[in-house]
Chain A
Amino acid sequence: MSQKNMNNSEDKLVDAGVLSCQNKSRRNFLGKAAGASVIIAPGVTLIGISSAQSNTDVDGADSSKRWGMLIDTNQCAEGCNDCVSACQQENGWGEGSTDESHSNPEQQAQWIRTVTVRDKDTGHTNQLPMMCQHCAEPPCVDVCPTGASMQRADGIVLVDKHICIGCRYCMMACPYKARSFVHESLHDQKAYAPRGKGTVEACTLCVHRVDKGEQPACVESCSSGAMLFGDINDTNSEISKKLKEVGSTQIRADLGANPSVRYSGL
């Protein structure tokens, strides 16, 4: 008997007002049977959806993954700016119609920047790219009053600009100065990287590319091969093998934010 038929028969019983004591056991049975089919029904629906679309994105961000990056600062060539310009082109910031020409240079967006660090004792310098470190315990998410600053199941930290009120607490909380605030109206943004006045933004780890199974733009453009991207939870991934092999550090590891971006050669 189908669920519809059962419901109909139960409706008839209720409508007719014939639920006497003898019928109670029958009613209980019907209730239980109906309950079982309700449990089955969502299962059937789920199977239907998963078989209809084979794209892996149907399931969304996978919590078994943790996307991360390993940056070899010894290979990062002094004066090279490839990662920054690739990010600008990919995500539409710092150039063209989205260059924020009315803002001060300190106010303009910097999703990624190159930083030169110098050892005070030896005078040795290293250049490294610095961007959102996609922390496992992100302080920006902790302080956000609206829930706009959020972490995906696969560890990518994003700003939900639909509900960002532009208070900039997250910018204060970020130890890496990774976030920017848009001060002026923009137009002709990239279709997959919306950005607009009054909201905070940062490196998205090129989430639109990662969801397609591609590498972030900066990693792809790095001519010296200093940047390695992958799933650091997967022990067989290239990045995990490399992390096991070479010593790497998290910047400001003392803060306990556990960044997913690690640096070697520092």
Chain B
Amino acid sequence: MLIDRLKVRIAIVSVVLGALFATSFMAQSQSDAENSSSALNKQVTTGESCVKDTSWMRRNHMELLKHDRDRTLRQGIRPVDGSIKECVNCHATKDDHGQQLSINAEGEFCAGCHSFASVSIDCFDCHSTKPEESVVGTRR
């Protein structure tokens, strides 16, 4: 009789503890997912679509840029898909006061993914981080 009661108590305690663990674990994983998705899903600000689809660009944009930088600089071929100028023109955003933000600023299009993936980029040591002056007036 006494042993039966003990068994029931152990069962109840373990069920309660299990439920507590499960809830806290789910809350944790949900907050992780929210953080990562806000960093990774920086919205496109202008234009209908990118030069290639998003999943391809996520994996291969660096190859496209690297290939086309040589074509532009060395061969003088200007209309290329992998133009870093066009990346900036399309993806750089403005803050609430209408000030142009750098595309590599914290949380912005490039930095959002790159800090999440812990991959540093040298592009913007030389390249402009803001859209060309000629396109600024036409942007939203």
Q: List the interface of chain A (C-beta within 8 A of B).
A: 53, 55, 57-61, 150, 152-154, 158, 160-162, 185-192, 194-199, 207, 211
Cross-interface CB contact of A196 among B74, B125, B131, cutoff 8 Å: B125
Which residues of the other chain, A, contact B125 by a CB distance below 8 angstroms?
185, 196-198
Cα distance A53–B77 when bound, in Å?
A: 12
Q: List 17 A-B contacts (CB under 8 A).
A: A55-B79, A57-B76, A57-B79, A58-B79, A59-B77, A60-B77, A61-B76, A153-B75, A154-B76, A185-B125, A191-B130, A191-B131, A192-B132, A196-B126, A198-B125, A199-B126, A207-B76
For B77, list chain A residues within 8 Å (CB): 57-60
Residue from B76, B126, B132 within 8 A of A194 (CB atoms): B126
CB 8 Å contact bits of B29-44 with A (1 = contact, 0 = none): 0000000000000000
* Complex partner residue of B73 from A55, A58, A158, A197, CB under 8 angstroms: A158
| Bound CA span A103–B110, Å | 30
Nearest chain A CB to B65 CB, angstrom units = 10
Shortest beta-carbon distance from B108 to chain A in Å: 14
The interface residues of chain B lying within 8 Å CB-to-CB of A190 are 128
Chain B residues within 8 Å of A189, by CB: 126-128
Q: Which A residue sits closest to B85, measured CB to CB?
A: A191
Return the contact of B128 from the options A153, A162, A188, A211 (Cβ within 8 A).
A188
- The docked-state distance in angstroms from the alpha carbon of A207 to that of B77 is 11
Is there contact, CB below 8 Å, between B126 and A161? yes
> Is B111 part of the binding interface, using a Cβ–Cβ cutoff of 8 Å?
no
Q: Are B75 and A55 in contact (CB under 8 A)?
A: no
List which B64-80 residues lie within 8 A (CB) of chain A: 69-71, 73-79
Residues of chain A with a CB closer than 8 A to B128's CB: 188-191, 194
Q: A194-B127, A195-B126 are in contact. Are A152 and B132 (CB under 8 A)?
A: no
